[in-house]
Each structure stands twice: as C-alpha cells, then as structure tokens.
Amino acid sequence: YSIPPPIGKNGILSICFRLAASKKRNSMSKGKERWGVLKNAIVEKRIGDGCESQSTRNSFCFNLFTRKKCNCLEKACVKSRKEENDCRWFAYVCNSMLSVKDIWINHPNPKTNLKEITSFNNTGNVCIWPSEEIMAYYCMSNLDLFCGKSVIELGGGSSSLAAMCIAFNSPSTRVLITDGNGKCVNMLNDAIHTNQMNVSNGTNKAQVSATDLRWDMPATYSQYTETFDFALCADCLFFDEFRSFLVDTIYSVLKVGGTAFIFAPQRGNTFHNFAELCKLKFTDVVQIEQYNHHIYKQHLEYLIKNKSYKSDVHFPILLKVRK
C-alpha cells in the first residue's frame, strides 16, 4: 500500500474534510426528509371521512346508515352559507327505517394540526365508529323506550349519532350529549343548531344540548347526579386509565332504576374488565350479542366470508346495566 500524503488533493486531511462534508449533507437531507414526514403527519394529515373510509383501514361497517353529502352545488347547503369548497356536512339516512329522520353531521376537517393531535383524546374526531352507528340503530329500533325520558350520551365523539337520532326523532326526550374533548363539543353544538334549523319542526323542537364532561373529573358531572333514565356509551371501554372513572360516572348520573346501553367490541380483555367493574356497582349487568337480528346475521356472514373480520375488534357487543 502507498500511504497518502497528509496534505494535497488526495491527502488524508482533504479526504477527511470531504467525508465530513458529505456526511453533514447526508444528515441534513435525512433531517429535512424526517421533518417533511412529520409535517405531513401533523399539518396535513388526512383523517377518515367516516365509517366508510375507516372500514378500509381497520373497521367493518354494518351499513345501517347511508351518508348523503350536502348538496351545496345546488345552493341547498344545509348551513345556508357559501361553503361549496369545504362543506363537510352529511345527512345520515337510516337505511331500513323510513320513518327515522335524517340527521346532519359535520365531519371533522381532514386537516388536523399539532394542537388538536396533542389535545385531550382525539379519537372522537376521527370518524363515527361502528359501535356508535350500531348504538344509533339499536336506539332507533327501540325508540318508544325513550319517550318522555331523559338520556345522556358519554364520550359521544364529534357525531354522537345515537343521541342525535333520539333527540330529533323523539322530541319529548331530554337529551344531553357529552364528551371530554373540546373540539367534539364545539362540533356537537354546531350540529345541534343545524338540525334544529333543518330537522326539528317549529313547534316540536328537540330538547338537546351538548357539554364538556370528563369521567375523571367528577366536578364536571356532579350537577347531574341521579338525573338520567338512560345513559349511552359507544366504543369507550379500551382506555385503561379511564375505565373505572367511566363506571363511576355512569353510576352517578343514572337515576335509581335507570339503564345504560354500552356498545363496544371485546378488544382483548377491555370489555370483560369493564363488565367486571360494573358488577361491583350495578344491580343487573347483562352482556348481549344477539341484540338485533339484522346485525347479528351480518356479523355471521362477515365471519364466514371475510378472513380479515375478527369478532374481537370488529363486532360490538351490548352491555346493558341497571342501577
């Protein structure tokens, strides 16, 4: 081997300098690339439009509701304002129950930002999860139950479809919709207003409102102690840190004799753990898989025909508890 001279074009020092420069350039472009990835994830992350797009990722829709996009182009925008380019209002039409009124829901903007991602629990701004869709359908199939009663939905997300369906189809029911995420609550208030304008008839307004309610902050629900005949909750059992708080909240807000309908997939032990906690407090705790003939049939068909369908994560079960 010939040892390169220390200086000059091919000298060791020159080679070292060139290596260091190219490493710096490489790490700069890698760094830039990583910032690009992060920027895409934060600044322009596209999130699901609803159950349909969600279903291609990790959920199965039970197709109980059809979504009809707001017809802004014909100047019939549900909000009566010029939102042609970014109107995200959809009417949720209950497929098999013609008497059920369409409910207008504003889908969260697909562009999210760092503030939203890092704010309290963003899962309710992603889409309407299948448990919520099923809970809405179940409530519409048993609408008579709620006549003249009071209902609270906990962790309803930005749609709270079940509580919205009850409120605008049963005006004699008093409905309080709640979530711990501020953006969800803002969207719910907007949706309530929009549906009062478009769905309620003038004399028979829905008795519905939305508010921030955190299961782990009793001060946010102490004013509702023993207030409600029914509590609803969909797909909220998988938060390990909040499970017992949620049980306490449901127990606290229900009247004695009141009932909660809780829908969620098994998701490992999460459903079971929640049910066990309920048994320590409530009088009756019943787990029901065949709560609706049509949904159960579809579940069995998915099991047979679709290899990627897994009951554990895709099939919502009903937990019915009575105080």
Toward ligand SAM, which CB reaches closer, 122 or 259? 122
Whether the Cβ atoms of residue 155 and residue 233 lie closer than 8 Å to each other: yes
> Hey, what are 310's tokens?
């897994």
53 binding ligand SAM? (CB under 6 A): no
Q: Return the residue of 62, 92, 104, 129 that touches ligand SAM, per CB under 6 A.
A: 129
The CA distance from 162 to 160, in Å, is: 6
The CA distance from 263 to 248, in Å, is: 17
Q: Return the residue of 102, 116, 132, 229 that touches ligand SAM, per CB under 6 A.
A: 132
Q: Return the residue of 242, 261, 291, 302 that touches ligand SAM, per CB under 6 A.
A: 242
Q: φ, ψ for residue 9 (rounded to 5)?
A: -55, -40
216 binding ligand SAM? (CB under 6 A): yes
> Hey, what are 277's tokens?
């906690």
Toward ligand SAM, which CB reaches closer, 144 or 241? 241
309 binding ligand SAM? (CB under 6 A): no
Q: What is the dihedral of CA 5, 8, 9, 15, to 10 degrees?
A: 60
Q: φ, ψ for residue 213 (rounded to 5)?
A: -145, 120
* Cβ burial, residue 160 (10 Å; 0-12/13-18/19+): buried
H/E segment holding residue 135: helix 130-141
92 binding ligand SAM? (CB under 6 A): no
Stretch that binds ligand SAM, among 35-43, 104-112, 198-206, 210-218 (CB under 6 A): 210-218
187 binding ligand SAM? (CB under 6 A): no
Q: Return the residue of 214, 243, 299, 314 that touches ligand SAM, per CB under 6 A.
A: 214
Q: Is the dihedral of CA 111, 117, 123, 124 positive or negative?
A: negative
Kindly state the number of chain residues that form the binding site for ligand SAM, as judged by CB under 6 A.
22
190 binding ligand SAM? (CB under 6 A): no
The CA distance from 187 to 105, in Å, is: 9
Whether the Cβ atoms of residue 173 and residue 204 lie closer than 8 Å to each other: no
292 binding ligand SAM? (CB under 6 A): no
Toward ligand SAM, which CB reaches closer, 14 or 209? 209
Window 23 to 52, contacts with ligand SAM (CB under 6 A)? none
**Binding-site string for ligand SAM from residue 156 to residue 175, where x marks contact by CB under 6 A and - marks none:** xx------------------
Binding site for ligand SAM (CB under 6 A): 121, 123-124, 128-129, 131-132, 155-157, 179-181, 184, 214-216, 234-236, 239, 242
